[in-house]
A and B are shown apart, each in its own frame.
Chain A
Amino acid sequence: QKEVEQDPGPLSVPEGAIVSLNCTYSNSAFQYFMWYRQYSRKGPELLMYTYSSGNKEDGRFTAQVDKSSKYISLFIRDSQPSDSATYLCAMSDTGGFKTIFGAGTRLFVKA
């Protein structure tokens, strides 16, 4: 079993929809939870990160961490065609410097 599981999709939604992207993990030592966005033929870029548990909001994006369920989510409100990309979750513990990535979910937002 992988340390981080993420449904690869693809996920196709109409413009304006609320998108929910999720990852589950097995390592309870993870404390940093990140979401990256990767456009086609580009490298990943950090969207948001959360330390430990709780929610974090940045514009149309909200990241949630539920450590009791080992489950993290990224919500995108009022989705736009420009949000079409692959979204990668990633996690790290505080001691090591290795980050474990999910496989990525491909998102298509249709105009």
Chain B
Amino acid sequence: KAGVTQTPRYLIKTRGQQVTLSCSPISGHRSVSWYQQTPGQGLQFLFEYFSETQRNKGNFPGRFSGRQFSNSRSEMNVSTLELGDSALYLCASSLKLGLQGNTEAFFGQGTRLTVV
């Protein structure tokens, strides 16, 4: 079966611009969570959606937002980009909420965002 698909794989944006990243979960999965990965901070939780509703949110500024569509595909948006937003953005899809002990949660390959 198809895995989690993130598009685009690579992106270069200028400070001040906005960007939208997409995540298509595994068929049948209703949960999509987003993470930011940087060398200094590691993997940090952004937010999680389940059945089109945001269920949990991490400690990121309001410039980071997301949504989930009825087909479970999810997008995240970052407005007014800053240099520090350069990172690998990962999404994970799952049948249920959360990663704790969740053997059925799978990550995509990520979108590498570079802000210049």
Per the bound structure, the CA–CA distance linking A41 and B92 in Å amounts to: 15
A12 in contact (CB, < 8 A): no
Contacting pair A44 B45 (CB below 8 A): no
Task: List the A residue with the shortest CB-CB distance to B107.
Answer: A43
Contacting pair B45 A98 (CB below 8 A): yes
Known contacts being A92-B100, A96-B56, is A46 close to B105, with CB within 8 Å?
A: yes
Per the bound structure, the CA–CA distance linking A51 and B101 in Å amounts to: 7
CB distance from B87 to the nearest CB of A (A): 13
Chain B interface: which size bin?
20 to 34
Per the bound structure, the CA–CA distance linking A97 and B102 in Å amounts to: 11
Contacting pair B42 A44 (CB below 8 A): no
Residues of A within 8 A of B26 (CB): none
Q: Which single member of A31, A41, A46, A102 contacts B109 (CB below 8 Å)?
A: A41
Per the bound structure, the CA–CA distance linking A42 and B92 in Å amounts to: 12
Residues in chain A within 8 A of chain B (CB atoms): 6, 31-32, 34, 41-46, 49, 51, 88, 90, 92-94, 96-104
